[in-house]
Amino acid sequence: MHYAICTYGTRGDVQPYIALCLGLKDRGHTVTLLAPENFKDLVGSFGVNFYPLHGDAEAILQSDEGQRVLKKGNIVAILKYMQKAGREVQPIVNRDLLEGCAGADVLIASVLTLIWVRTIAEKLEKKWGIVQLNPPSASTSEFPFAGMAFINWGPYNKFTYWLLEKIYWRFNSKELNKFRASLGLRAVTMADISNDAAANHLNLYAFSPQLIRQPADWSSNTRITGFLTLPPKVREANEAEALPAGLKEWMQHPQQPVYIGFGSMPVPDVDKVRAILQEIIRATDKRILFCKGWSQIPDLPEHPRLFVVDKVNHQWLLPQCQTAVIHGGAGTLAAVLKAKIPIIIASVFGDQVWWGDIIQKKNLGFHIPFVKLTAAKLITAIDGTQSADTRQNASACGEAMNKEDGLTTALDAFDEYFEAPVRVGDRIEI
């Protein structure tokens, strides 16, 4: 069977799907990963067939306007900017999706490609499903949508998912129906994207049940699988994943470092980050491993207790650290938790905020929104992660996660679902 896996966004939105592609290949399937064109080398380095989608999320976030919006820290403004940037490239991305999916038997969407892939599947009469990395948007009475978790009461909980649908529909209905018209498909209404439990497409959430449990009132086709993680040996064998020069030697020091990195989320305020690093080095004896990722930060301090890298294999590094300070993207979150160390999330927007709240509630670390981050707060939080309770919780959580096999769970669900006859009358679930 030929699977087309369709994702968009940053590296954290791509790497889990590389793991999924490799798993499908191991089971004898043909796989194509459709992702932004700037990930061609990354995907190809793992031997996965790649189909480029127009656009570059890094360029969008690194643009002058993107940096201005991120620095202000206003979530509404950030979302509006991201929506505007998305709409500018979406018609070309949709064309690429249509072309790239044409030869596949099954289409798999991420949260950012969902409504477009679902529409293409309808046009091409293909089977389709969703693999999401974000907290659930499938309705349940057991807990509210993560962004509206003010109280936990059954009727309110269901209401939050209805409200989420309404907001989603308001932002996307015009462009969606414009795209559908271009394909000769009928217009749809909000009722057509209802995410009730009767929806009969496969909907997998690729995060650990240690963070969010599987609700009892979900349909059998909506499941929490566990994280999709590249096998360590696969990463170590990839030349593109080679460790930066000097890192192994620096890591041999008996004092474990604090990892600080924002991955593929450019830091909203480079001056603030530079000042925080300088203050930690000045005021403490901590050793810091700082990973720049997509951030462009000139004039970083030079000090024997500070090691700076552009990128690094988290699976190798993080188990050797005492704690990790990250932006809260699901991919890095998984790596930290599986390393069995405490975590500090300095969230910028989106699901980073929700994961931060979950981490703090479970006493696995702390959540400090980036706009509120200071050197003093971060030093206090780092010290706080070394408490016996927090370290024990992080270790136990990581131990349980390492016994999970999210990839096998997802692959088994694919085999079970997509070997069945084609479903009809699907509804869209966001």
Task: Check for a shared fold between 2-227+405-418 and 238-403.
Answer: yes
pLDDT digits over 355-408, tens only? 999 999 999 999 999 999 999 999 999 999 999 999 999 999 999 999 999 999
Q: Among the CATH numbers 3.40.50.300, 3.40.50.2000, 3.40.50.10440, 3.60.15.10, which is that of 238-403? A: 3.40.50.2000
Please count the other Cβ atoms lying within 10 Å of the Cβ belonging to residue 77.
Answer: 14
Q: Give yes or no for a contact between 133 and 5, defined as CB atoms under 8 angstroms apart.
A: no
DSSP of 355-403, one letter per residue?
A: HHHHHHHTTSEEE--GGG--HHHHHHHHHHTTSHHHHHHHHHHHHHHHH
pLDDT value at residue 72: 74
Sorted by where each begins, the domain ranges of the chain are 2-227+405-418, 238-403
List the chain pLDDT tens, one digit each, 430 residues: 999 999 999 899 999 999 999 999 999 999 999 999 999 999 999 999 999 999 988 788 778 888 788 777 676 777 778 778 888 899 999 999 999 999 999 999 999 999 999 999 999 999 999 999 999 999 999 999 998 989 999 999 999 999 999 988 988 999 999 999 999 999 999 888 764 334 578 999 999 999 999 999 999 999 999 999 999 889 888 888 889 999 999 999 999 999 999 987 778 888 999 999 999 999 999 999 999 988 888 889 899 999 999 999 999 999 999 999 999 999 999 999 999 999 999 998 889 999 999 999 999 999 999 999 999 999 999 999 999 999 999 999 999 999 999 999 999 999 999 986 544 444 444 4
170 membership: H or E segment, kind and range: helix 154-182
Q: Structure pTM?
A: 0.93
* CA 331 – CA 311 distance, rounded (Å): 14
Q: Among the CATH numbers 3.20.20.70, 3.40.50.2000, 2.170.8.10, 3.40.50.1370, which is that of 2-227+405-418? A: 3.40.50.2000
Which amino acid, residue 134?
N
Length of the chain: 430
Burial 387-418 (b: 16+ CB within 10 A, else e): eeebbebbeebbeebeebebbebbbebbeebb
